[in-house]
């Protein structure tokens, strides 16, 4: 199992949220050469352009991954969910609070719904427009990151750590075998310098934030 020596526990769900927001900001910056900061996290997303662009990127990567999987294994990859095949249309020049920003966010939420993201992890259009309900925006993005990682996309460090624990638990339950099957998630892809991951148990990140 993972060596937890030197791991500092968070003292509250608010601390978890701060860590998640910092991690997501770094993740988005690494993927798209942005300048998202934890302090301006909601402001950086409130036009919906970053979110819609990421949704389309997930779709493209998933299509490429699934095509390669068919060639290698002779069958389709089965991640347990379906990535919508349609392109998320959005206005790249949308201004915060405008009709176009609301439409962008609405289109992203519709994409998330078709992706199968649970309602308890979702936010509403007005939440992002008004820069409120930050927790659910964070939890939604973490879930999207988890799903994208199944197709080889870079994931936030906290999600990588969560997946590492899941793999180690699965190996222990299977008797310590190291065999890698065709349904094994792709290798962890780091988008930037690794840093210490802070946690205090094996709960999911969603549970930590509640």
Query: SS3 sequence, 115-162?
Result: HCCCHHHCCCHHHHHCCCCHHHHHHHHHHHHHHHHCCCCCCCHHHHHH
pLDDT recorded at residue 162: 87
Domain boundaries in the chain?
13-208
pLDDT on residue 100: 98
Describe the crossing of helices 134-149 and 49-73 by its angle, rounded to 10 degrees. Answer: 20
For residue 80, is pLDDT > 50?
yes
pLDDT digits over 122-138, tens only?
Answer: 999 999 999 999 999 99
> What is the band of 170 on the pLDDT scale with cuts at 50, 70, 90?
confident
Report whether 152 contacts 77 (CB < 8 A). Answer: no
Question: Rounded mean pLDDT of 13-39?
Answer: 93
- Kindly indicate the confidence band of residue 210, based on its pLDDT and cuts at 50, 70 and 90: low
pLDDT value of position 209: 61
What is the pTM assigned to this prediction?
0.79
The CB-based long-range contact list for 203-206 (8 Å cut-off, 24+ gap) reads 204/162, 205/16, 205/20, 205/139, 205/142, 205/158, 205/159, 205/162, 206/121, 206/139, 206/142, 206/143
In tens, the pLDDT along 53-74 reads 999 999 999 999 999 999 999 9
- Do residues 7 and 199 make contact, with C-beta atoms less than 8 angstroms apart? yes
Tokens of 50: 């970053």
CATH architecture of the domain 13-208 equals Orthogonal Bundle (1.10)
Q: Would the pLDDT of 76 be above 70?
A: yes
């Amino acid at each position: 199992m993972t060596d937890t020596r030197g791991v500092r526990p968070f003292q509250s769900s608010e601390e978890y949220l701060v860590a998640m927001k910092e991690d997501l900001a770094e993740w988005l910056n690494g993927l798209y050469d942005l300048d998202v900061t934890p302090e301006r996290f909601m402001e950086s997303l409130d036009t919906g352009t970053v979110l819609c662009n990421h949704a389309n990127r997930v779709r493209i990567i998933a299509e490429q991954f699934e095509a390669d999987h068919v060639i290698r294994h002779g069958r389709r990859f089965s991640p347990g969910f379906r990535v919508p095949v349609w392109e998320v249309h959005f206005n790249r020049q949308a201004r915060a609070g405008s009709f176009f920003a609301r439409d962008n966010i609405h289109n992203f939420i519709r994409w998330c719904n078709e992706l199968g993201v649970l309602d308890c992890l979702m936010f509403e259009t007005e939440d992002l427009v008004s820069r409120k309900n930050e927790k659910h925006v964070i939890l939604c993005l973490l879930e999207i990151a988890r799903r994208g990682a199944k197709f080889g996309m870079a994931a936030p460090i906290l999600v990588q750590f969560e997946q590492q624990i899941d793999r180690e638990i699965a190996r222990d339950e299977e008797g310590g075998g190291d065999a890698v099957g065709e349904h094994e998630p792709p290798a962890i892809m780091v988008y930037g310098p690794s840093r210490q991951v802070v946690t205090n148990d094996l709960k999911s990140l969603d549970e930590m934030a509640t």
